[in-house]
Amino acid sequence: MNPSQNSTSNYYRALTRKMILTVIIVSFAPMILVSGVIFDQFREFYKEKVYAHLRVLVRKHQRTIDSFLNEKMSDIRFLAKSYYFEELRDATFLQQRLALLQEEYDTVFEDLGVIDARGIQVAYAGPFELARAKYSEADWFKKAIGTQYFISDVFLGLRGLPHFIVAVRQKYEAEHWIFRATIDFAFFNNLVTSIRIGKTGFAFILNREGELQTKQLFDILPSKEIYMDLIRKGKDSTEDVHIFEQKDALNKKNIYVSAFLKNGDWLLVYQQESADAFADLNRAQYIAVIIFLVGGIAIITMAFVLSRRMVNRIARADREKEMMNQQVIETGKLATIGELAAGIAHEINNPVAIMVEEAGWIQDLLEEEEFRQSENLDEFNRALKQINTQGKRCKEITHKLLSFARKTDSRKQQVQINELIEDVVGLSSQRAKYSNVVISTKLEKDLPALQASETELQQVFMNLINNALDAMEKKGGTLEIASQLNGAHIEIDIADNGPGIPEANLARIFDPFFTTKPVGKGTGLGLSICYGIIKKMGGDIDVRSVVDMGTKFRIRLPLTRSAGETGAEKSLKGFDLH
């Protein structure tokens, strides 16, 4: 590959790249923008929906739990207020109360107890042996004695099991006493742990210190900071339910929904992994990404294919343009050669004319009496005749050259195709002789004139005949040229019996720059120019060839409505170009 070809192929490669990039950018930019905006909006919307759902859920449970606690509190309060201290101090009576309560509320109430101001449980009803237990140091007792109603945090207490206490303070003979009930932890726990959504959604309760108040189904890491953070944020928040997303210690994003219970003592927390909560959204996202990727691949493939095709077409157009330029140059060259030939022909014509005239003069003189008797008279006459004949031959050659080389233009004129063919054959006959080729013509007489450019047609026949002669150069052969009228067309066959054209090449012979001749011998333009000229005239050229049998070109030229010969041409016919 030479450097110029290299640079043009680089040029086309750069062009392809540019087109691909443009197509990709132009197609992708709107796609990314639109899908991005829509998806973002959708995500926001979906998030809102999930949040709203969670908020409602948590709020509902907050109410349920709060009302549960309030209910238990009011049950105990009712009991405490309904009976006197003396009555409740009686363990059997207390046992009866508990039995009644348990009958009503199942096993929610685990036990009942009455504690005096010194923290001694004076009466107890329940499954444990806690009568006379001392609570004076217990945290819950200290708090409970200081307020009218009290619900404790969950603690292990004396029995060593998690539970919490509902207590009511009453007064008896100027001293406080406390009526308390233990709430079944399992039952309460159920209230919270029953909140289960998706795979990872669960709820729990924290006290103010961030300690868990419910039992967990999952091992959640005791990440206190997050819980303390939840409490702090919950307090700051003006809403009753607070939602936020945060990463946990395992670096997983979680949604936390929190709501205060028990007048802010406890915090109900609902926790779910974001990925789980937004599973639907993520699936949608996944599908969208797949569609985007498939679409993207389609666009990129299209960009590649289209650009390639486009650039190939451009390259072909460029090549055609190049060929046209070549053709113009070729025509220009022909014109120059034509002028040169015309000049030379004219210059030779004059001396030849003089020679012939001089010979004629000698012949004139030989007719005088004094030369009549000369023994060499016949010989003189023969020589002069020969000079005359050869002069005429020169004249014929120069005339043909002149008529061929006459201004190479593409102006249309009346063309007698047979005369034109004979002219070209005449010019090629010398070459044919050297190549040992016999050219024979079979021209139909009185063919109508064609409206065409004579020079261009000459070029066509010159090319075809030269090609045939080139093909038969080694072995010789015959070249037959026939013309005939066929409807509104004149058909001209140019058939040789040379080596033929292999089928593989047959389809390409009219392509520009296609040549089988050695480098430097042919431009590969001849037949493509012929093709161009014939097509321009509205005609047709096709080729049939059999290897080792020969090649036959057939040209069909349309007859245009000929205006007939003009008067001037008629009168000229007798003496011009005889």
Partner 1 sequence: MAKAKVLLVDDEVPFVETMTKRLTKRGLEILSAFSGEEALKRLKENDNIEVIILDVKMPGMDGIQALREIKNSHPLVEVVMLTGHATVETAILGMKLGAFDYLMKPCDMDLLMAKVTAAAMKKRQHEGKIVEARLKEITSRMA
353 sits near partner 1 (criterion: CB under 8 A): yes
Q: Give the nearest distance from C-beta 327 to partner 1 in angstroms.
A: 26
320 touches partner 1 (CB under 8 A):
no
Residue 370 binds to partner 1 (criterion: CB under 8 A)? no
Query: Stretches 7-15, 266-274, 344-352, 517-525: which one binds partner 1 (CB under 8 A)?
Result: 344-352
* C-alpha–C-alpha distance, residues 186 and 163, integer Å: 9
Query: Rounded CA gap, 207 and 222, in Å?
Result: 14
Scanning 137-145, 343-351, 526-534, 548-556 for contacts with partner 1 by CB under 8 A, the matching segment is 343-351
**One of 87, 104, 357, 503 touching partner 1 (CB under 8 A):** 357
| 497: amino acid identity, one letter | N
Enumerate residues 504-533 that contact partner 1 by CB under 8 A: none
| Among residues 354, 488, 546, 549, the one that binds partner 1 under rule CB under 8 A | 354
Residue 108 within binding range of partner 1, rule CB under 8 A: no
- Report the side by side order of strands in the sheet with 121-125: 121-125, 109-115, 175-183, 164-172, 149-151
The region of 156-164, 310-318, 501-509, 568-576 touching partner 1 under the rule CB under 8 A is 568-576
Q: Counting contacts by CB under 8 A, is residue 340 touching partner 1?
A: no
Residue of 468, 344, 350 whose CA lies nearest to 404 = 344
Site string for partner 1, 388-427 (x = CB under 8 A): ---xx--x--xx--x---x---------------------
Would you count residue 361 as binding partner 1 (CB under 8 A)?
yes
- For residue 82, state whether it binds partner 1 (rule: CB under 8 A): no
Between 96 and 389, name the residue whose CB sits nearer to partner 1: 389
Q: Please give the Cα distance from 227 to 258 (Å, whole number).
A: 10
Question: Contact between 32 and partner 1 (CB under 8 A)?
Answer: no
What amino acid occupies position 474? K
569 is an interface residue for partner 1 by CB under 8 A: yes
Helix boundaries (H) for 121-205: 139-145, 185-193
Residue 158 has phi, psi (to 5 degrees) of -70, -30
Name the maximum alpha-carbon separation found in the chain: 196
Name the β-bridge partners of 181: 112, 166
Q: What does the per-residue mask of binding to partner 1 show for 466-505, with x meaning CB under 8 A?
A: ----------------------------------------
For residues 477 and 498, the answer to whether their CB atoms sit within 8 Å is yes
**Looking at 137, 364, 375, 548, which residue binds partner 1 (CB under 8 A)?**
364
In the complex, what is the shortest distance from the CB of residue 353 to partner 1, in angstroms, rounded to a whole number?
4
Three-state DSSP at 426 gives: helix
Smallest gap from residue 537 Cβ to partner 1 (A): 21
User: What would the two tokens of residue 534 be?
Assistant: 């014939």
Smaller CB distance to partner 1: residue 287 or 340?
A: 340
Contact with partner 1 (CB under 8 A) among 360, 426, 476, 499: 360
**Least distance (Å) between residue 568 CB and partner 1:** 5
Q: Does 219 bind partner 1 (CB under 8 A)?
A: no
3-class secondary structure for 80-114?
Answer: HHHCCHHHHHCHHHHHHHHHHHHHHHCCCEEEEEE
Q: Is 200 in the site for partner 1 (CB under 8 A)?
A: no
Length of the chain: 578
Residue in the block written with tokens 């995500």: 43
* Nearest distance from C-beta of residue 396 to partner 1, angstroms: 11
List 20, 69, 154, 352, residue binding partner 1 (CB under 8 A): 352
- Cβ contacts of 231 within 8 Å, gap of 6 or more: 206, 208, 210, 258, 267
* 477 phi and psi angles, rounded to 5 deg: 155, -160
Judged by beta carbon, residue 154 or residue 402, the one nearer partner 1 is: 402
349 is a contact residue toward partner 1 (CB under 8 A): yes
Q: How far apart are CA 276 and CA 272, in angstroms?
A: 7
How far, in whole angstroms, is CA 194 from its chain's centroid? 52
Binding-site size for partner 1 (CB under 8 A) equals 29
> Could you give the strand order of the β-sheet that contains 489-496, starting from the edge strand earlier in sequence?
437-443, 477-486, 489-496, 550-558, 540-546
Q: How far is 235 from 547, CA to CA, in rounded Å?
A: 101
Sole window of 13-21, 196-204, 318-326, 340-348 interacting with partner 1 (rule: CB under 8 A):
340-348
Closest Cα to residue 108, out of 167, 181, 19? Answer: 181
Closer residue to partner 1 in complex, CB, 181/450: 450
CB of 398 to partner 1, least distance (A): 7
CA distances from 436 to 213, 284, 543, 552 (A): 118, 84, 24, 19
**For the chain, how big is the Rg over CA atoms in Å?**
59
Q: Between residues 284 and 334, which has the closer beta carbon with respect to partner 1?
A: 334
| 186 CB burial (10 A radius; 0-12, 13-18, 19+) | middle
Check binding of 84 to partner 1 (CB under 8 A). no
- Is residue 575 within the footprint of partner 1 (CB under 8 A)? yes
Binding residue for partner 1, selected from 19, 125, 267, 356, defined by CB under 8 A: 356
Residues that bind partner 1 (CB under 8 A): 342, 345-346, 349-350, 352-354, 356-358, 360-361, 364, 391-392, 395, 398-399, 402, 406, 568-569, 571-572, 575-578
